[in-house]
A = this chain, B = another copy of it.
Amino acid sequence: MAADGPSDALARLADERVDHRFKGLPPDADGLTVGELAAQRRNLFTGGFTTPVLALSAERLEHNLRLMETYTERHGLAFAPHGKTSMAPQLFRRQIDRGAWGITLAVPHQVRVARAFGIRRIFLANEVVDGPALRWMSAELDADPEVRIVCYVDSVRGVEQMDAALAGAARPLDVVVELAAGDEARTGVRTEKEAMEVADAVARTRTLRLVGVAGYEGEVPQATPERVRAWLRRLVALAAALDGSGRFAGAEVGEIIVSAGGSAWFDTVAEVFAELPELSRPVLKLLRSGAYVSHDDGHYRRLTPFNRIPEEGALEPAFRLWAQVVSRPSATQAFVNAGKRDAAHDLDLPTAQVVRPLDGTGERPATGVAVTALSDQHAWLRTEPGAGPEVGDWVGLGLSHPCTSFDKWPLIPVAEADGTVVDYVRTFF
């Protein structure tokens, strides 16, 4: 199998049976394979799908994948999109086919999913001190010389635990020192001095190999472009200091990794990474943005760097959650059958975007319709006089936060603009 080449496991996803595991799918497709159902090219609105059903836009997904490929190429960035967002091996594959260096993940379980689908370059953007997980990762490295896993370190104690867990490994595990985005920020060393101490602890092991630095500018407190820029310059300077003091030297390191970049500040990352001084080895400037793949209608619509750089393009929200009005108990209230089990609700409530009357008269904007609350299995709508919708109508909802949208749907129809479902995306959470 070629590095990150197509995997049999990926092909076998089309052989899974459509059944009770997958909400929203047509009951009369029960027993078909996913591939057979896709070949039927059913319509999302008339093809027997049940509500609620989350759909991805085929065109917008493709647009977003292409836009970030172009963006990272233009700015000389390597790209390891954060796979925790979708946990969808089919999307991992499309990201890699569009030039991604590899896939970023957050916890070892997610690495297992990626490895099961043949992903070979994995940036595990987190500390890992879990013995069984480390031994499993080590076995993956030892079994295939083309597999590469890079993870974070931010404490001497953690390094020592990793070393103990990895005793007997044939190949070292690559690590990068994580620099915290501030004193009250999340994980990562608080000071350059600690970074040096952690680097030295790594050097004392035979099981770990220091290959760079990383951090997450999304946690910079009270973030402004200036503050994010200042922190990114600290990160870049840390890489230079570790390099200048010979701390990447001992370990046959072919390139030095410098990584940052969520979905709110990748323009600033591109800007500061462009300033990187020459180091002793080539530098892999690794961006990790993940939310772009579906984008959203809330949090990331507000925060996307493309709002600051419209000349470079615009992401398009690719999710729409379709729910059906089951109750219209008063002139101002309506209830649809999608709730916390179906929609992201951690950053914002869903927003009502369009109404599709049951009578087939087509889609209209959901003017005067607002989502005011979510129950486990209902959304509460407040409606202005004359706004509708009526019992039976479908309401298309926009979502905020891709990470908590994907994780509620194990199999997601991908529909073209006219409703034709052309593919199904499987997720593993």
**How far does the alpha carbon of A77 sit from the alpha carbon of B156 in the complex, in Å?**
59
B328 touches A24 (CB 8 A): no
**Which partner residue on chain B sits nearest A29 by CB separation?**
B132
**Pair B48/A377 contact, Cβ less than 8 Å:** no
List the one stretch of A64-72, A103-111, A311-319 in contact with chain B: A103-111
- CB of A373, distance to nearest CB on chain B (Å): 9
A310 at the interface (CB under 8 A from B): no
Contacts of A120 in B (CB 8 A): none
The answer on a CB contact under 8 Å between B132 and A326 is: no
The answer to whether B335 touches A187 (Cβ under 8 A) is yes
A49 at the interface (CB under 8 A from B): yes
A28–B136 CB distance below 8 A: yes
A161 to B392, CA, bound (A): 8
Known: A324-B129, A326-B126, A340-B346. A186 touches B378 (CB 8 A): yes
A158's contact among B112, B346, B392, B428, by CB below 8 Å, is which? B392
The answer, yes or no, to whether A380 is at the interface (CB within 8 Å) is yes
- The docked-state distance in angstroms from the alpha carbon of A390 to that of B187 is 13
Q: List CB contacts (< 8 Å) of A153-171 with chain B.
A: 154-155, 157-158, 161
Decide if A154 touches B329 in the complex (CB within 8 Å).
Answer: yes
- Judged by a CB distance under 8 angstroms, whether A142 is at the interface is no
Looking at the assembled complex, report how far the CB atom of A194 sits from the nearest CB atom of chain B, in whole angstroms: 8
Q: A20-B116, A404-B376 are in contact. Are A326 and B84 (CB under 8 A)?
A: no
A10 CB–B CB distance under 8 Å: no
The 8 A CB mask of A252-289 against B (1 = contact, 0 = none) is 00000000000000000000000000000000000000
A378 and B428 within 8 A (CB): no
Query: Contact string, A169-210, partner B, CB cutoff 8 A, digits 1/0?
Result: 000000000001001101111100000000000000000000
Chain A residues 97 to 136 lying within 8 A of chain B, measured CB to CB, are 106-109, 112-113, 115-116, 126-130, 132-133, 135-136
* A108-B376 contact in complex given A127-B326, A428-B21, C-beta closer than 8 Å: no
Q: Does the CB pair B376–A403 fall under 8 Å?
A: yes
In the complex, 11 of the A-B residue pairs with CB atoms within 8 angstroms, ordered by the A residue number, are A50-B109, A107-B337, A127-B326, A127-B337, A127-B391, A154-B327, A157-B391, A187-B327, A340-B404, A345-B346, A376-B403
